[in-house]
Structure 1
Amino acid sequence: MADHDLTGFDRGTFTHDGTTRRILRRGTGPAVIVMAEIPGITPKVLAFAERVAALGCTAVLPVLFGTPGRDADPASAGRLKSGLYTASSLWKVCVSREFTVLATGKSSPVVTWLRALAAHEHQRCGGPGVGAVGMCLTGGFALAMAADERLLAPVLSQPSLPLPLTRSRAAGIDISAEDLAAVRGRCERADLRVMGLRFRSDRLVPGDRFAFLRRELGAAFTAVELDDDAANPDAVLPPHSVLTEHLIDEPGQPTRAALDDVLDLFRTRLLAPQDGGEGAEAPAAPEGHPGNP
């Protein structure tokens, strides 16, 4: 894919507690915060946002790192340029105090800003609440954001923090004990549903991490775990990015089914008639999903 010129996306900024970041928006209806993976808001992340907007929601993309619209695929950008761009974005995350890369039992400080953004977009866009999807290094942000009751539909796509360099880090996720307790309480009290996506072989998202989420959230956690042969074979990297780089956007494909499940979660939680907001009936777990155990 070539670079995306951002046609069709409105551009703005959002400021909270002295920090201003750029924002891209597309669509109308309840807000869904789309947090990109490394190296940034690529054309494939924008394509996902377009699907969210077509659903009847407002896709809101905060620029946390990278250059919006820049294509990072080595096949089109070249291996050297792609590698340098990815390394630059990753370095920014690693040295920033806003991102918790290695610590366990801690939510990244940027989550506070993201919660404020979600509250602002909820007021701006209306609807029963807000959705959020995080990818890779931002995957766990959607979970920590769900400590706020306005977040009704959190999706964790290949959540990779903390980096699983040790057994304890592999068996946890980047959320504080306080935030996790709040999310767990919402799952028990208000029928919150949390969705997680991963490829089974992905070393950045070990199976122990999803086992931890199952223990902590119980039946409220829906895990979609895909085999390697479900990944787009044209992707350069090993299977990792379920909704973007490794998506095969064809009916009957497991990654397409996973994408459809994510969109259905947003549709059910944010667009379906509500009988009391958060207490509305949760969508049933997808039956016969090729990625579910």
Structure 2
Amino acid sequence: MSASPPSAADPLADFQPRDFTFDGLGKRVYVAGRGPAVVVMTEMPGISPQVARFARWVRDAGFTVYMPSLFGRDGAVPTAEEGVAVFKRACVSAEFRALAAGSPAPAIRWLRRLAAAAHAECGGPGVGAIGMCFTGNFALSMMLEAPTLAPVVCQPSLPMEDPAGTGLAPAELGAIRERLEREDLTVLALRFEGDRWCTAQRFEAYRQALGPRFVARVLPDSAANPEPPPFFRHVVNSPHSVVTAHLIDEAGQPTLAARDEILAFFAQRLLRPSSDGAGADAPADQPLAEAAGAR
């Protein structure tokens, strides 16, 4: 294992590129592995070599990875300038904005459909999902569909204008909490202590909304890789990406332990017979999102 993050572009040659279209919205998805499905959602500004490295760790742990291309250049190491441009485009894109009050953004609806399709293809008790940074709270929103059993929320940075905001409507949070309690599920969440994009106030807001089912891990800033790629060094400019750009791939490092906890979390929820646990037989065509919208 190397202590330094990958610095060259990643061709993603060991992933199968597939196109998924739901409700008229089509996206490229990189698929690899065998076993229950885990949706790996990229952080800003795209599927970097560090995001792909994490996806391979998930694959090698016994899962089928579905890694959608949501923004940016797939496999690239973006410059600071390119990363900023990608971020600005995503912020104003209709795909990531709700069309009406209380309705999820089209990209989130698409991700829920992807989870259902992945579950149908891979079987097992359900689907895991991890969101990072811009997509951090997407994994939580995916809990409003039955297949998603193992959500991981890494350094959720939205909404940026509200450091204490969750990015989800109260009715959605209420429906998610009810499901967590009913099916004995948890949400695993991670951030660095001094992250200026994912604040302690945001984690506290999640804790208030979800109670003890929100399991938070806060890493010291000293655990972050001090030499991340240019976008993270010059634009993000604080410890932020727990399992990608700021991970130190050395034995004994807190970020590597965080990665291992995530993999163990997926294994606990997904690598078991489909008939023995919570959510295993929940039909994918009965979304909890409908209950949330009815509140």
The normalised TM-score by structure 1 is 0.86
Aligned counterpart, 2:195: 202
User: 1:31: which partner in 2?
Assistant: 37
Tell whether 2:80 aligns with 1:83: yes
User: Per the alignment, in what secondary structure is the counterpart of residue 242 of structure 2?
Assistant: coil
Task: Give the letter for the 1:239 counterpart.
Answer: P
Aligned equivalents of 1:238, 1:107: Cα separation in 2: 29
Query: CA contact under 8 A between 2:124 and 2:272: conserved in structure 1?
Result: no
Preserved contact between residue 108 and residue 175 of structure 1 (Cα < 8 Å): no
Q: CA 1:41–1:109 in structure 2 vs 1: closer, same or farther (change >3 Å)?
A: same
Tell me how many residue pairs correspond in the alignment: 266
| 8 Å CA contact retained: 1:105, 1:177 | no
Letter in 2 for 1:231: A
> Cα distance 1:17–1:279, how it changes in 2: closer, same or farther (>3 A)?
closer
CA distance in 1, matches of 2:219, 2:84: 27
Aligned equivalents of 1:234, 1:209: Cα separation in 2? 26
- Secondary structure of the corresponding residue to residue 98 of structure 1: helix
Tell me which moved more, 48-57 or 236-245.
236-245
The Cα shift of 1:100 comes to 3.8
* Cα distance in 2, alignment partners of residues 226 and 104 from structure 1: 35
Task: Tell me the distance in 2 between the aligned counterparts of 1:242 and 1:144.
Answer: 20
Q: Which residue of 2 aligns with 1:176?
A: 169
Q: Distance in 2 between matches of 1:94 and 1:213?
A: 22
The CA RMSD measured in Å over matched residues stands at 1.9
- Between the aligned partners of 2:96 and 2:268, the Cα distance in structure 1 is 31
SS in 1 for 2:96: coil
Are 1:222 and 2:212 counterparts? Answer: no
Instruction: Find out whether 1:128 has 2:125 as its counterpart.
Output: yes
Q: 8 Å contact 2:196–2:238 — kept in the other structure?
A: no
**CA distance in 2 between partners of 1:23 and 1:118 (Å):** 12
**Does the 8 A contact of 2:126 with 2:279 survive in 1?**
no
Work out the CA distance in 2 between the residues paired with 1:15 and 1:277. 31
1:142 aligns with 2:135: no
Q: Does 1:154 align with 2:151?
A: yes
1:276 paired with 2:273, answer no
Give the gaps of 5 or more residues in structure 2: 1-6, 281-295
The 1:90/1:146 distance shift into structure 2, 3 A limit, reads: same
Q: 2:265 matched to which residue of 1? A: 265
Letter in 1 for 2:246: H
Structure 1 position 221, deviation (Å) = 0.9
Q: Note closer, same or farther for the CA distance 1:60–1:279 as it changes in structure 2 (3 Å cut).
A: closer
Is the 8 Å Cα contact of residues 20 and 114 (structure 2) preserved in structure 1?
Answer: yes
CA apart distance, 1:19: 0.7
Structure 1: runs of 5 or more not aligned? 73-81, 281-293
Cα distance between partner residues in 1 of 2:279 and 2:42 = 29
CA contact (8 A) 1:100 1:106 kept: no
- Structure 2 CA distance for aligned equivalents of residues 115 and 180 of structure 1: 16
| C-alpha distance in structure 2 between counterparts of 1:107 and 1:246, whole Å | 30
Matched with 2:10 is 4
Compute the displacement of 1:180 (Å): 1.4
Distance in 1 of aligned mates of 2:140 and 2:14: 29
Once the two structures are superposed, residues 97-120 of structure 1 have per-residue CA deviations (whole angstroms, 9 ceiling, x without a partner) of 12249x997743311110000000
**Displacement after TM superposition at 1:88 (Å):** 2.1
Distance between the aligned counterparts of 1:264 and 1:252, measured in 2?
17
Matched, 1:191 2:184: yes
Contact 2:125 2:273 in 1 (8 A): no
More displaced, 208-217 or 32-41?
A: 208-217
Q: What TM-score does the superposition give when structure 2 sets the normalisation length?
A: 0.86
| Pick aligned residue for 1:58 from 64, 69, 76 | 64
**What is the rounded CA distance, in whole Å, between the counterparts of 2:105 and 2:133 in structure 1?**
14
- Higher RCO by CA contacts (8 Å cutoff, separation 6 or greater): 2
- Percentage of identical aligned residues: 48
Residue type of the alignment partner of 2:269: R
Q: What's 2:19 paired with?
A: 13
Q: How many Å separate the matches in 2 of 1:13 and 1:272?
A: 29
